[in-house]
C-alpha cells in the first residue's frame, strides 16, 4: 500500500461511520471484470460490488444510457409518469409471471415493501393474520423489518425490540415450516438460494411443497431474489429453474448494473393490496436508475447474457470442482447455480481472500468458511481460468 493510499484511508476512518471492516484498498477505476486502485494496481473482480455490476465496469451501453439520461433528466417525482420507468416495468412484467412492479432503491427496501404488501393483503382478505415466516441463516437487509426477517442473530444484536410477528424456521425443512404456519400466517419469505448465509440452494421438492402450503392457505409467498435474481443463475429469476413461482419477488443488486435500484414484482391480486398513499419512494424508479436498468435487461434478454451465464457458470463450477478434487483436505463443498457459487473450505475463508487480494484478485466470503463467486455476468472463460490459478496458489 502506498503512502497516498494510507492517507486517504485515514481520512475515511476519521469521517465515515465504522460499519464495515474494509480491506485497505482505495479503488478508483474499473474496466470489464477488472478494477484498479489508486496506485494503479489491477485486480480481477469476482465480487462485482457483491453481485451488483452485472455488466462489469465501464460497459459502454450502460455508461452512454446513463450519461444521456442524466442530460435529459435525472429525477422527477413519482407524482408524474416517465417513459424510462414505464418501459422498465413493461420489460419486467413481459418477461415474468408478474403483473405489476414497484420501484425503490435497495434490496432492504424491496423486502420491506414486500412485507408491507403481504400485511396489506392480509388486512383485506384475512384480517386476523399478521405473522411472517422467514428462514434461519437468511439475509434480507438492514432496515428494521428486513433485519427482523433476517435469520441471523449477529445482525440483530442491540436492536431490540424488533418487528413483532416474525418467526424463523429451518431452511429446506418442510415439516418445520408446516409446524410454524397457522391461522395467523400472512406470508412466507425466502431466498431460493441463500446468498449471505453461505450459498445454499433450496431443494426443488421443498420449494414445491412450500408453494402447495401457500396455495392451500392463501399465504403470500415472497421470494427474495435480490442476489440470485437478474440473470445471476442463468435464468432471469432463480425460481424459474424450480418450476414453481412465488406471488411476489424482490429484486435489487444487479438490476441497474450498479445504479441503486430495488423492485417489488407481484401478481395483480396481491399488487392490488396497495392503493395510492399506501407505499412510496421519492427516488424509486427515477429516470436515471430506470435508464440503467433498461440497458441491463436488454443485455440479458436480447443480447445473449443469460445464455452466457449458463455456459460460464457451468465452466466456473467445473473449475471449482476440479480444485476440490485436487485439494480435498482444503475444500469440502462446491455449491450454487450459474454465476452464484460457493466454495466451502475446511478452514477460514478470510486468510485465503487476503492472499488473493495481494495477488490481484477480489473475492468475498459468505460466512466464515465459504468463498462466494459472484463475478460480472459477462465474465470470460479466460478470466475464470485466471481467477482459478490465483485461488489455487492462495490455497496451497
Ligand X SMILES: *Cc1c(COP(=O)(O)O)cnc(C)c1O
Residue 25-54 contact track with ligand X, rule CB under 6 A, x = bound:
------------------------------
- State the minimum distance, in angstroms, from the CB of residue 240 to ligand X: 17
Q: Does 191 bind ligand X (CB under 6 A)?
A: yes
**Which residue's CB is nearer to ligand X, number 32 or number 336?**
336
> Which member of 34, 102, 139, 270 binds ligand X (CB under 6 A)?
139
- Looking at the DSSP bridge assignments, the partners of residue 167 are 133
Residues 225 and 110: their CA atoms lie apart, in Å, by: 10
On whether the CB atoms of residues 320 and 343 are closer than 8 A, the answer is: yes
DSSP 74: S
Which CB atom, from 108 or from 305, has the smaller least distance to ligand X? 108
141 binds ligand X (CB under 6 A): yes
Report the residue number, 32 or 107, with the smaller CB distance to ligand X. 107
Output 20 or 80, the one with its CB closest to ligand X.
20
**Closest CB 53 distance from ligand X, rounded Å:** 14
Indicate whether 233 belongs to the interface with ligand X (CB under 6 A): no
Whether the Cβ atoms of residue 314 and residue 233 lie closer than 8 Å to each other: no
CB of 34 to ligand X, least distance (A): 23
Of 45, 131, 224, 344, the one binding ligand X (CB under 6 A) is: 224
Cell 435464468 identifies what position?
Answer: 235
Minimum distance, C-beta of residue 262 to ligand X, in the bound complex (Å)? 6
Cα dihedral value 13, 18, 20, 23, nearest 10: 20
Q: How far is the CB of 384 from ligand X (least distance, A)?
A: 22
Nearer to ligand X by Cβ, of 108 and 264: the residue is 108
Helix then strand then coil, % of the chain, to nearest 5: 40, 20, 40
CB closest to ligand X, residue no: 107
CA-based angle 307:313:316, to the nearest 5?
145
Minimum CB distance to ligand X, residue 198 (Å): 12
Kindly tell me which of 226 and 364 has the beta carbon lying closer to ligand X: 226
Candidate segments 124-132, 167-175, 219-227, 241-249, binder of ligand X by CB under 6 A:
219-227
Query: What does the alpha-carbon distance between residue 351 and residue 347 come to, in Å, rounded to a whole number?
Result: 9
Spatial distance between the Cα atoms of 163 and 131, rounded to a whole number of angstroms: 10
- Min. distance of Cβ 349 from ligand X in angstroms? 17
DSSP H helices in the chain: 3-15, 48-51, 60-72, 83-94, 107-125, 144-149, 174-180, 204-217, 268-271, 287-302, 305-326, 350-358, 381-395
SS3 at position 285: coil
DSSP 37-62: ETT--EEEESSHHHHT-TT-BS-HHH
365 touches ligand X (CB under 6 A): no
Cβ closest to ligand X, residue 50 vs residue 280: 50
Residues 334-363 binding ligand X (CB under 6 A) are none
Place of cell 437487509: 141
- Which residue in this structure is represented by grid cell 429453474? 241
Q: How far is the CB of 61 from ligand X (least distance, A)?
A: 23
Least CB distance to ligand X at residue 135 (A): 11
> Which cell is 195 given?
446468498
- Our CB check for ligand X shows the closer of 107 and 338 to be 107
Min CB(227)–ligand X separation in Å: 3
Name residues contacting ligand X, limited to 89-128 (CB under 6 A).
106-108, 111
Angle in degrees, CA 120, 270, 255, rounded to 5 = 105
Say whether residue 226 binds ligand X (CB under 6 A): yes
Tell me the number of residues near ligand X by CB under 6 A. Answer: 15
Residue 318's nearest CA partner among 300, 332, 304, 336 is 336
CA distance 100 to 104: 14
**Interacting residue with ligand X among 30, 49, 113, 195 (CB under 6 A):** 195
Binding residues (CB under 6 A) for ligand X: these are 106-108, 111, 139-141, 191, 195-196, 224, 226-227, 252-253
Amino acid at each position: 500500500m502506498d503512502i497516498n493510499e494510507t492517507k486517504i484511508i485515514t481520512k475515511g476512518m476519521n469521517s465515515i461511520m465504522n460499519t464495515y471492516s474494509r480491506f485497505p484498498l482505495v479503488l478508483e477505476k474499473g474496466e470489464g471484470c477488472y478494477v484498479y486502485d489508486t496506485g494503479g494496481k489491477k485486480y480481477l473482480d469476482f465480487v462485482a460490488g457483491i453481485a451488483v455490476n452485472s455488466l462489469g465496469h465501464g460497459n459502454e451501453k450502460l455508461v452512454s444510457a446513463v450519461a444521456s439520461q442524466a442530460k435529459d433528466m435525472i429525477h422527477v417525482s413519482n407524482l408524474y409518469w416517465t417513459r424510462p420507468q414505464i418501459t422498465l416495468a413493461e420489460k419486467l412484467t413481459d418477461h415474468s409471471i408478474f403483473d405489476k412492479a414497484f420501484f425503490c432503491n435497495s434490496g432492504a427496501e424491496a423486502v420491506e415493501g414486500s412485507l408491507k404488501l403481504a400485511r396489506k393483503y392480509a388486512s383485506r382478505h384475512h384480517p386476523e393474520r399478521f405473522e411472517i415466516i422467514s428462514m434461519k441463516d437468511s439475509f434480507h437487509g438492514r432496515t428494521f423489518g428486513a433485519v427482523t426477517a433476517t435469520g441471523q442473530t449477529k445482525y440483530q444484536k442491540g436492536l431490540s425490540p424488533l418487528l413483532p410477528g416474525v418467526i424463523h424456521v429451518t431452511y429446506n425443512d418442510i415439516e418445520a415450516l408446516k409446524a410454524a404456519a397457522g391461522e395467523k400466517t400472512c406470508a412466507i419469505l425466502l431466498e431460493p438460494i441463500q446468498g449471505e448465509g453461505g450459498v445454499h440452494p433450496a431443494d426443488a421438492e421443498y420449494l414445491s411443497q412450500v408453494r402447495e402450503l401457500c396455495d392451500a392457505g392463501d399465504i403470500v409467498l415472497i421470494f427474495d431474489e435480490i442476489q440470485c435474481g437478474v440473470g445471476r443463475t442463468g435464468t432471469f429469476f432463480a425460481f424459474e429453474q424450480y418450476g414453481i413461482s412465488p406471488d411476489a419477488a424482490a429484486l435489487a443488486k444487479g438490476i441497474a448494473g450498479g445504479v441503486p435500484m430495488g423492485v417489488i414484482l407481484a401478481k395483480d391480486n396481491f399488487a392490488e393490496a396497495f392503493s395510492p398513499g399506501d407505499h412510496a419512494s421519492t427516488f424509486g424508479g427515477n429516470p436515471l436508475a430506470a435508464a440503467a436498468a433498461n440497458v441491463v435487461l436488454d443485455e440479458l434478454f436480447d443480447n445473449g447474457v443469460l445464455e452466457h451465464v449458463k455456459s460460464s457458470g457451468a465452466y466456473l463450477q467445473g473449475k471449482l470442482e476440479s480444485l476440490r478434487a485436487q485439494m480435498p483436505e482444503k475444500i469440502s463443498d462446491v455449491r450454487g447455480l450459474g454465476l452464484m457459487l460457493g466454495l466451502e473450505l475446511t478452514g477460514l475463508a478470510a486468510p485465503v481472500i487476503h492472499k488473493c487480494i495481494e495477488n490481484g484478485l477480489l473475492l468475498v466470503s459468505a460466512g466464515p468458511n465459504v468463498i462466494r463467486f459472484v463475478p460480472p455476468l459477462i465474465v470470460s472463460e479466460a478470466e475464470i481460468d485466471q481467477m482459478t490459478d490465483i485461488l489455487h496458489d492462495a490455497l496451497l
